[in-house]
Amino acid sequence: MAKKKSKKNYNERTDIEKIESQWTKLSGLHSREEWSAAVIRAATAAELAANLAIRHEFAARSELDDPFVDNLLRWANGLTGKLDKILLPLLRGQEKQASVSKLCALARKVNDKRNDIAHRGVFCSKKEATAQIANCKKFVVGLVRHYVDDFDLHEKPSS
């Protein structure tokens, strides 16, 4: 009898594994017509992608230890904080700055909808959720591919 594979503790997963877990979860939520919850997960995947990019940038350019970088990520407080306070300033003057900046506009749309849901109690329709998930996928895949060449997510939930 084959031994059942145990799940890796979430805190022990890599950023890529966490992004994939969020994507799997949001796909299930979307298929169960839990539109608002799916958008929350999409925004979480976007924030995890920002974490990955920031970690890569610091690893490539500094000797700062992981606990210090983790503290910066907590300090930045949310997706827009990570983009505006850490990632975009880190990329200033680099070749990827323009493309990442354009991707960030998509992430901001997802994050704005997430904030409406989480902080104002707004509900999301199927159409809105599907559009935000598509924005999220473009952001996550586009950003992560700057650091992990072959990264991809399975297809977005169908309309």
pLDDT at site 11: 87
Q: Measure the CA–CA gap between 47 and 88, rounded to whole angstroms.
A: 14
Query: Hey, what amino acid is at 11?
Result: N
Torsion of CA 93, 17, 158, 109, to 10 degrees: -40
CATH fold for the domain made of 15-144: Four Helix Bundle (Hemerythrin (Met), subunit A) (1.20.120)
What is the tens place of the pLDDT at every residue in 21-35?
999 999 999 999 999
Q: What is the mean pLDDT of residues 97-108?
A: 94
Other beta carbons less than 10 A from residue 11's beta carbon: 6
- CA 129, 134, 139, 140 torsion: positive or negative? positive
Residue 4, pLDDT > 60, answer no
At CA 58, angle to CA 57 and CA 63, rounded to 5? Answer: 145
Residue 65: closest CA among 52, 55, 75: 55
- The pLDDT of residue 56 is above 80: yes
Band the pLDDT of 159: cuts 50, 70, 90: very low
- Res. 2: pLDDT tops 70: no
Which pLDDT value is given to residue 6? 57
List the domain boundaries for the chain: 15-144
Average pLDDT over every residue of 104-113: 93
Q: Give the model confidence (pLDDT) of 57-93 as tens digits.
A: 999 999 999 999 999 999 998 999 999 999 999 999 9
CB atoms inside a 10 Å sphere around CB 140: 28
DSSP state of 122: -
